[in-house]
Structure formats: structure tokens, C-alpha cells
Amino acid sequence: MVCDPDETDLDIQIPAVMLPHDAGSSLLKMLMNSSSVSVQLYSPTRPLVDIAEVFLWLMAVGTILCASYWSAWSAREAAIEQDKLMKDAVDELTDDKHVNATGVVEISTISAVLFVIIASCFLIVLYKLMSSWFIELLVVLFCIGGVEGLQTCLVALLSRWFRNFGDSYTKVPFFGAVSYLTLAVSPFCIAFAVVWAVHRNASFAWIGQDILGIALIITVLQIVRIPNLKVGTVLLSCAFLYDIFWVFISKKVFHESVMIVVARGDKSGEDGIPMLLKIPRMFDPWGGYSIIGFGDILLPGLVVAFSLRYDWLANKNLRAGYFLWAMLAYGLGLLVTYVALNLMDGHGQPALLYIVPFTLGTFLALGRRRGDLKVLWTRGEPERPCSHVRLHSSQDLD
């Protein structure tokens, strides 16, 4: 338990001892059986850094790394396809723009602001309606998203070896055309999510939650994109204020940190909400989990993935591009988050408070220094001259 310095200290002269849940259950059973019970108390010290935080850092960075390369590869394939169509006919390009956009959602400046407002409303709903049945509803929604994410990732991975099954489709009622590979993978994904949901309170359930969560994050970063750095700046700036308000300032309004209460799943009887990546603290005698919210990976991940798409379209190498530096900035920002968490004696910290200045600040400063900031801010992609259009122009002049 972590107590705030300004919390009331009541001298009630009654000794109180905090026990782990399993130790309390064993003690209660022995007392009910009238067994002889003796208790020896000790206060072990926590390690300065638990290895769980190292693994969680690697998971967060690795997730953004995989999602960025997948997103950049898809963008480059789409650009190559557009170039081919440009050489064939301008009309075909016009018709195909809608097709290429299918399945990819680009965030606008207004939707970036609305996203944070909606997220705040949803957080208040979670805080007010926090109960066991509401957590079960979140579990169902998480399973649906996790199944979709795991299925998308597995199909994309397996289609490299089973190309015939990935390119062969059949019609399924209510779903339309579905590939045979998707039909083969879907039962496994559904079974995996159901097994996790049933055993989500088991000691090993964090493994299934992390697998579903990582697959969901990678899929979202593949589908949702920011078109330019302007939208990314608005999104991360709003998320920066959102995180600070709901972790620190909400204490003044609700008398407790809304974000921390929701993340821990207080008043629900459950071990936190499922929208988290978590690893049990391995060398901490007090137990518990090291956690990171999906938003702390997703929102900065949108900007990092954008940087790699830009680098590939501009044919920039790692040192001359922006992705390497954005990736290093995110990793350093997350590292500083864990340092601050340990220095604050376990008090919850808003991760975006540290991640956003590192990631966004590095990107903006580097873009301005290299003279690319205007293109990054407005277009979001380098200019690619079309030889087909120039050819038509010269013919028109003749």
C-alpha cells in the first residue's frame, strides 16, 4: 500500500498488519479450524529496480518497433502501387485512391481533440461504475478486440508461407469474402481469448493478457495513422494534458487519483482492468505487477510509426531519417518514467508526462534543424514527382 504524505495520520493505538491475499486466506482457514497460529512479522526491502520493469520496457519498445515496420511496409507497397497506376492512366489512379484508403483510418486535428475528450468521459464512466459486472463487460470487449488483433497479426505472418490460402477467398454469411487462412486461424484466436477470460485471475493469466494486448496494439497502429506531424503534435499534446490531469489534478476534484484507481480496479474485486500490459514483479517481496497502459504505447506509437513511413517514402537511411531518433526518444522517455516511479516510492506516474516531451520534442527539433519541418507539418510525406503527369503536360504543349 502506498500512502500520500498529506493523508490523515490517525493515532488509534490499534496495530494493523497488511498481508498478501493468499496469506490472509491461509490465516483465516487456520483460525476457523481453531488451529494454533503464530505470526512472525518482518519488513523486507524492495529492490531498487525489478527485472519486470526491464521486460515491460522491452515489450513496449518492441511492440512499437514491430507495428512501425508493418505500417511503413504497407505504406510503401501502397505508394508503389500508386506509381504503377500513374504510369497506366490518371483515371485509374483517381478510382483507386478510395480502394487504397480502405481499412486505413487517418486521424484529423479535430478527431485528435475529440479522442481525448471521449477518453476522459470514458474514464469517468469507468470510475463511477467500477464494479465486478462492469469489469466483466470490459473483459468481453477486450477479448473481441484481442481476437481481431491476434487474428490479423497471425494471418499477416502466416500468409508469407501460405500465400495460396491467404489469397483464396470464400463468402461467409454476415462477413462477406473471407480468406481460407483467416477461417483456419479464427478458431484458435477465439479459443485463446476464451481460455484467458475464464482463467484471467490465475497467476499465469498475465501472459495471455499481454499477448492479446500486444496483438491489439499492433493492429490498431497498422489501421490508424496520423497524416502529418501537425495532427501528431495536437494528439500528443492533448494526451499529455489528459494524463497529467487524471493522475495528479483529479485528486483535487475526486479526492483520489482517478487514473490510478481505475488502473488498479479498486472497488471491483478484480486485479485491475484488462487494458494494460503487465508483468509480475519477480524479486519484490511484496509482490504486485509492473504495468503500462495501452495509451502509453499507442499514442506515441502513432508518431513513431509516422516517422518510419516518412523515412521509407523519402528513401532515408536510419541515421539520416527520423525513426531511429524517435524510437530512441520514446525508449528514453519510458525509462525516465520508471526512474521517476521508483524515486516516488511507488506513487503512480503519468507516463506521457515524460514520453511526450522526449518523443515529440526530438521529432520537432530534428525536423527544424534539417529543414523538413514544413513538409512534415503539412504534407506528411515527401514529394514524389510523377513522370506520367510531366509527359502529358509536354504533349499538351505540343
What torsion, rounded to 10 degrees, do the Cα atoms 52, 57, 60, 64 define? -150
Q: In the annotation, is 296 catalytic?
A: yes
Report the residue count for the chain: 398
Handedness of CA 303, 304, 308, 311 (dihedral sign): positive
Catalytic entry in 50, 210, 296, 311:
296
DSSP string of 300-326?
HHHHHHHHHHHHHHTT--TTTSSHHHH
Identify the DSSP state of 4: -
Nearest to 388 by CA among 99, 73, 101, 94: 94
Catalytic entry in 83, 96, 167, 243:
243
Q: Cα angle at 314 between 310 and 318, to 5 degrees? A: 75
C-alpha distances in Å from residue 279, one per residue of 1, 106, 292: 18, 32, 9
3-state secondary structure of 175: coil
> Distance between CA atoms of 251 and 296, rounded to whole angstroms?
21
Cell 499529455 locates to: 240
Q: Which residues of 122-161 are buried (b: 16+ CB within 10 A; e: fewer)?
A: ebeebbeebeeebbeebbeebbebbbbbbbbbbbbebbee
> Distance between CA atoms of 195 and 230, rounded to whole angstroms?
42
Q: In the annotation, is 243 catalytic?
A: yes
C-beta of residue 341 within 8 angstroms of C-beta of residue 102: no
> Distance between CA atoms of 377 and 165, rounded to whole angstroms?
41
- The catalytic site residues sit at 243, 296
